A and B are shown apart, each in its own frame.
Chain A
Amino acid sequence: GAVVSQHPSRVICKSGTSVKIECRSLDFQATTMFWYRQFPKQSLMLMATSNEGSKATYEQGVEKDKFLINHASLTLSTLTVTSAHPEDSSFYICSAPPPGTSGGWGDTQYFGPGTRLTVL
């Protein structure tokens, strides 16, 4: 089946530093990937849609200058949390539609294992 990986699985950083999280589709190409954030005991909240070869689309209330998204290839999207602060500590999860789809509506999605970010 379709596999999505994330790296790192866990990261601890100091306040003010930047952290990069990678999302890879291992056995398929993904023109679209999605980034979610999950705070403890809460649901997943969509942050942005990552589009290969073009700018990401951010959800309302998500700062695009703070959460930089780059979808440089058909198998890799990166999320960079710039100038991280303790309130950015969260579980970040990416997803992508599986192969054989157009990435459009009505497609099932597969999720990466998540990255737990702790900002001290």
Chain B
Amino acid sequence: GIQVEQSPPDLILQEGANSTLRCNFSDSVNNLQWFHQNPWGQLINLFYIPSGTKQNGRLSATTVATERYSLLYISSSQTTDSGVYFCAVGGGATNKLIFGTGTLLAVQP
């Protein structure tokens, strides 16, 4: 099955800093989503981005499907950005999502 690796596994930032999170996947996909999991476990949809670039406020994402990676950019980070960021990919005839290994982000004041 598809393997999904995220880097870095852990990241500590000072408030106001920028960061880039990476998601590598091992096969062609037709679905890629980025999520933020808050401290209560809720998954928040950030982007649905199987290809191309999207921006939403301080966040943006780019997926280069031909090279099998996606990037999530966080600018001017805030303490509320802390949590775990997952990418999840799907491919084939079903809509099953395979989750990456996650990046634990801690933004310090």
A contact set with B: CB distance below 8 Å: 32, 34, 36, 38, 43-46, 49, 91, 93, 95, 97, 103-111, 113-114, 116
Contacts and interface: CB of A to CB of B under 8 A. Distances in A.
Given A43-B86, A44-B99, A106 B41 contact: no
A97 B96 CA distance: 10
Interface of A: prevailing SS: strand
Counting chain B residues whose Cβ lies within 8 A of the other chain, the interface size class is 20 to 34
A95 B97 contact: yes
A103 B96 CA distance: 10
A116 B31 CA distance: 27
Contact of A105 (B33, B35, B42, B90): B90
A43 B42 CA distance: 13
Given A105-B90, A106-B31, A109-B95, A93 B100 contact: no
A64 B65 CA distance: 34
Nearest to B50: A106
B94 interface: yes
B48 interface: yes
Given A46-B97, A106-B50, A113 B42 contact: yes
A44 B91 contact: no
B45 to A, nearest CB: 7
A95 B33 CA distance: 13
6 closest residue pairs by CB, A with B:
A108-B48, A111-B43, A44-B99, A114-B41, A43-B99, A106-B30
Contacts of B41: 38, 91, 93, 113-114, 116
